[in-house]
Structure 1
Amino acid sequence: MPKKQKTSSVYTRCNEYKDIFRVDDNVLFCNHCNISIDWKRKSTVDNHCKSQKHVFNVRSQEESQNKTQQLTLSSTQAVSESKKQLIEDLIEAFATADIPLEKVNSLLLFFKKHVKNGGSIPQAPTLRQNYLPSVFDKHFQSLKLLFDSKPVAIIMDETTDDCARSVVNTLFCYHNETKLVSVDFLERVNNTTMGQVLTTILTHFNISFNLPCLFLSDSAAYMKKCHCEVLSPLMPQLIHVPCCAHIINLIGYVSCW
């Protein structure tokens, strides 16, 4: 007695190819190509699955799905930290090379084209407002570690900036390291305000008043008075050395008259 052939339906045929086809109104549709397929002959269905168009559509949809797949929290944090590190390193490089941050605006297209994550670099105002403070804090902490509780030599000088403001620059020297440690803007520059600036800086760097050994400044009368009346009572060991270059400059200035 001959074997009874197993009857197929559109649903049984669809179940033979998991996630590839779907049934809509008794019609077999390909999920990837979005076309109807004659389901009655298995060979016809197999040929469609092997066709170049079907294989291409499957591959394209898999790649698209991988690109849009949600990142894990750790991956997202890693990407964010990588972008932040790039921006902070860029600010440090510009500061080291004495390049104004405004120059970044002219380089954004170059960064986006040639630098990995370069498209995440913002314009100069955002760099200055959101990223520069943290870069400065890291730099200041490194200075504190370098000069903490050290018998530093001190260099102070006052000048004016482009806005005609009085600016006091303070440098510390220890062994072979000479670093600018503070830039202060003063409304009035005299022996008292200069002394207050220096004592505040020493406190911030955890430097006891009995440690500094040398005080270098110009020969201005208020700086000599600062040493004699403000600093010497607090730091009797502090030796004041007027700047030789400033003295020579004064001599040349007087000689011209």
Structure 2
Amino acid sequence: MERFGVKSPPSRNRSKTALYVTPQDRVTEFGSELHEDGGKLFCTSCNVVLNHVRKSAINDHLKSKTHTKRKAEFEEQNVRKKQRTLTASLQCNSTAQTEKNSVIQDFVKMCLEANIPLEKADHPSVRAFLSRYVKNGSSIPKSDQLRKAYLPDGYDNENQLLNTEDR
């Protein structure tokens, strides 16, 4: 009797998702409508995160009324604002902060080695020169802040350098 039994077809456990599609692949496929940052796919005009695995979700979003409305507003603005992930923003801020600190440390070291009083940094013509010709020059603080925050660090660094040279 087993011979005449009805067998069900083998079940498929495979989902209908693209297995090896990256957000960058979707950006190349859809052009300037989308952009990728930090492994996430963003709609450029709506600034929302989209599921890059399912192409139908992207197509549905691009055909939606809210997207077409926001796209029209976005094209009127003529300003391309792209949303960034938090890690990318923080990474940019941390590199700018380290660059700022190195500029300030070098400025204090230059003033000390050339016997220039730190109060000269407060003069308006020095401020104008620094902001115009030195990258991050406008971020150099006033002389009292230089003395309190950055002079001890420079002093400690020079002291350690002299101690290693004596040995």
TM-score normalised to structure 1 length: 0.36
Distance 1:126 1:16, change over 3 A: same
Tell me, yes or no, if structure 1 residue 78 matches structure 2 residue 122: no
Residue among 87, 100, 109 paired with 2:104 = 87
Higher helix share: 2
Tell me, yes or no, if structure 1 residue 117 matches structure 2 residue 117: no
Q: Which residue of 1 aligns with 2:22?
A: none
Question: Pairwise mapping of residues 133-148 of structure 1 onto structure 2 (< 5 A)?
Answer: 133-148=152-167
Tell me, yes or no, if structure 1 residue 22 matches structure 2 residue 22: no
C-alpha distance in structure 2 between counterparts of 1:89 and 1:142, whole Å: 16
Amino acid at match of 2:113: T
Tell me, yes or no, if structure 1 residue 65 matches structure 2 residue 82: yes
C-alpha distance in structure 2 between counterparts of 1:147 and 1:93, whole Å: 23
Amino acid at match of 1:146: E
Give the superposition deviation at 1:114. Answer: 1.9
- % identical equivalent positions: 25
The higher relative CO (CA closer than 8 Å, separation ≥ 6) is in: 2
- Equivalent residue pairs, number: 106
C-alpha distance in structure 2 between counterparts of 1:75 and 1:85, whole Å: 16
Give the superposition deviation at 1:79. Answer: 1.7
Question: Pairwise mapping of residues 1-257 of structure 1 onto structure 2 (< 5 A)?
Answer: 18=62, 21-22=65-66, 30-34=69-73, 54=75, 57=77, 60=79, 62=80, 64-65=81-82, 70=86, 71-106=88-123, 107-148=126-167
State the superposition RMSD in angstroms.
2.9
Q: Which residue of 2 aligns with 1:190?
A: none
TM-score normalised to structure 2 length: 0.53
Give the superposition deviation at 1:77. Answer: 2.4
Give the superposition deviation at 1:69. Answer: 6.2
Distance 1:19 1:87, change over 3 A: farther
5+ unaligned residues in a row in structure 2: which ranges? 1-58
Amino acid at match of 1:31: R
Amino acid at match of 2:139: S
5+ unaligned residues in a row in structure 1: which ranges? 1-14, 24-28, 35-52, 149-257
C-alpha distance in structure 2 between counterparts of 1:130 and 1:19, whole Å: 56
Higher strand share: 1
C-alpha distance in structure 2 between counterparts of 1:123 and 1:84, whole Å: 14
C-alpha distance in structure 1 between counterparts of 2:128 and 2:154, whole Å: 24
Q: Do the aligned residues in 2 keep the contact of 1:20 with 1:32 (CA within 8 Å)? A: no
Q: Do the aligned residues in 2 keep the contact of 1:83 with 1:120 (CA within 8 Å)? A: yes
Secondary structure of 1:99's aligned partner: coil
